[in-house]
Structure 1
């Protein structure tokens, strides 16, 4: 016969897993949005930057699936299924912890790596190259020019990239262009700020989102592990009918 305590834990775990399944969808969406944003400038970054959002999407998918295992195990009062559920949560928790540590280690060399990547792409900025497309996309999206400043493009003697030219009204981050932009009818201004700091700020903003989501889901996972183990222990102790 079931006790009130077992019923309470069982339905508490069931409700928790419904919330857990919804949080899994939230993780997938957050990871997808960050990955989509990162993909716009992944030419200048390494796979280390793409790793965390991909891991988050995978973790969210697994969370969504195993939440139903937790629900089923709770309702059926299955000792083994509850232990399997707790074990899977623990694996995901360790995986997220490992990704967090790897991201922290990578961050120490992030500035130098990003600058080197930008410089390398700049030296290969010629027509019909991937670097040409990547730099133009970056400068247009972030309204920037060069790495630290527009003159990083060695102006003169080389002309400004078309994507450095601004054809709108005067703004805070633009300066009067030289004849190149005006001659090609690309506007009267050129972006005055470099792309490194803007790109770094954007990546750090995405990182904060991933960290926040990761911490939140890690807390939920710990609660799920405790509840599952508690119910499994109660079932074993009271000799539940589905203790197999």
Structure 2
């Protein structure tokens, strides 16, 4: 009996962590949607934020809220299943966490194992779609380059041949020095700028913060693995208990 109580406590504890992460994501996404200017200020872009980049932040906030809502559901299922002793709910919680864990592993393998292929695909997308008025790719790259402090995948040459470059003969303002307006970021200025591409910049950031990255990744994996293990053990124990002592109600 004490072991079962301990299992329920552990399931609720790990599910509570997932629940808290979901609530943080949901609240963060709502904050970005309701007050995008404060997010811009937090990122150090208090002045001069183009409207398309603000729209991109709204799109990211929707993704953040969707992920937060999913984590909220997963955490609630774990807490409810453990507290009420509902085996189907515990099994559903286990399956959802397992799917999330598998998706994270698959994403990590894809990023680290196929970096060159993904980079080539990103360059092709830029040359094909960057600059279209209704394209989300332009918004995505605007925000990415602002946050990371980079230009393109490898460098400014990734934008040569894109719809926007073909139309205006200019490059994104992020590819030039900070004091250069987007309308004047031409071939001469961008060639003399020292802005690196997002791929080498990201590698540099990961290398400089590898200890913090490792701690975050291992912590997330630890919580997910522990949540799966304790929920499955509790599920099996409740199932055995039901078989030994059938429910006559």
Scaled to the shorter chain, the TM-score interval is: 0.5 to 0.7
Q: Deviations over 1:157-184 (max 9, x none)?
A: 944433323336xxxxxxx9xxx559xx
Matched residue, 1:173 = none
After TM superposition, the structure 1 = structure 2 runs for residues 28-43 of structure 1, keeping only pairs within 5 Å, are 28-29=22-23
* Alpha-carbon separation, structure 2, partners of 1:120 and 1:96: 27
Matched residue, 2:36 = none
Q: For residue 219 of structure 1, report the CA deviation from its aligned partner.
A: 1.6
Matched residue, 2:175 = 164
TM-score, length-scaled by structure 2: 0.56
Q: 1:21 to 1:116 in 2, by over 3 A?
A: closer
Q: For residue 31 of structure 1, report the CA deviation from its aligned partner.
A: 6.1
Matched residue, 1:217 = 224
Contact kept in structure 1, 2:126 and 2:158, CA below 8 Å: no
2:233 maps to 1:229: no
* Alpha-carbon separation, structure 2, partners of 1:93 and 1:132: 33
Matched residue, 2:155 = 149
Q: For residue 210 of structure 1, report the CA deviation from its aligned partner.
A: 6.1
Higher helix share: 2
* Alpha-carbon separation, structure 1, partners of 2:158 and 2:151: 8
Matched residue, 2:118 = 113
Q: For residue 193 of structure 1, report the CA deviation from its aligned partner.
A: 1.0
Q: Deviations over 1:83-116 (max 9, x none)?
A: 3344334423542354245325533334322332
Question: Please, which of 4, 7, 10 is the counterpart of residue 13 of structure 1?
Answer: 7
Q: For residue 62 of structure 1, report the CA deviation from its aligned partner.
A: 2.6
Higher relative contact order structure (alpha carbons within 8 Å, sequence separation ≥ 6)? 1
In structure 1, the gaps of 5 or more residues are 1-5, 44-50, 74-80, 169-175
Give the RMSD, CA atoms, in angstroms. 4.8
